[in-house]
Amino acid sequence: MSDTTVEFVEREDGVLVVAKTGPIGQDATWGNVADESQRLEWLAMAGAPVPKVIEFVDHGDGTATLLTERIPGFDATRREARARPEELVDLFAKALRVWHDNLSVADCPFRSDWATRLEVAKARLKRGLIASENLDDAYRRVGFDTLVASLDRTDPDDHDDLVVIHGDPSLPNLILGAGGFAGWVDVGRVGVGSRWCDLMIAATTIASNMGPMLVPTLFEAYGADSADTLAVDAYQLLEQFL
């Protein structure tokens, strides 16, 4: 999040700590440090591979700091991670599939489905935080009002196939260690939602960092026989407003 600062520090006992500071409260960005703190606590109880919360500090001025233990390793945008692109995509896809398969929808107290994300987008639009110039070039050629109206006519979620999604499974949020996959970070948008939301974000990060030719490899390694193009396109548009 652009309104959040991140610092990496080492405590006297040698523990590596990540300190994230940013706005909280009603006007803060969805997925802020308060949202992430709550989700990290639940994910830890669920056994997910995420950072351990050390402390959450509300500064009383509309900002807070989330302190977590740093997962040893490096994020997947590093050159050494991308040296074998097909292996990285395979690891990425399988780590995401394990996440989706192992976290309980029934036990998850958070939502990250189409309706939830659309509500967040509408709130941002109402506050004037999104304008045509904020959109990617491909969307600027379409009328802004037309795009906004199309969101209300769409709900691509298969409500019989919801999972607990990461909410932002991009290469910078995938941590690798000496043994391969080490964990996930930036989980402020975790919640029950469509796997195709996560897969859209995953496909976007793979295409932009390593080339679109590897996107089919992502879907195949994940175990998706074919892409739900309607859902992918819908979530790609909605992401422009979040």
CB 3 within 8 A of CB 23: yes
DSSP state letters, 121-154 = HHHHHHTT---GGGS-HHHHTS-HHHHHHHHHT-
Of 168, 198, 225, 233, catalytic: 168
Rounded to an integer, what distance in angstroms lies between the CA atom of residue 39 and that of residue 45? 10
Rounded to an integer, what distance in angstroms lies between the CA atom of residue 179 and that of residue 121? 39
List C-alpha distances in Å: 95 to 2, 73, 135, 199, 228: 26, 16, 30, 12, 20
| 173 assigned to a ligand binding site | yes
CB 175 within 8 A of CB 42: no
CB-CB neighbours of 240 under 10 Å: 15
Active site residue 145: no
Per the listing, tokens 């690891």 go with: 91
Rounded to an integer, what distance in angstroms lies between the CA atom of residue 35 and that of residue 86? 33
| 198 assigned to a ligand binding site | no
Assigned token pair, 66: 């989330």
Residue 84: strand pairing partners: none
Q: Which of 147, 163, 179, 170 is nearest to 111 (CA)?
A: 163
Going by the annotation, the residues of the binding site are 173, 186
Going by the annotation, the residues of the binding site for Mg(2+) are 173, 186
Which amino acids are annotated catalytic? Answer: 168
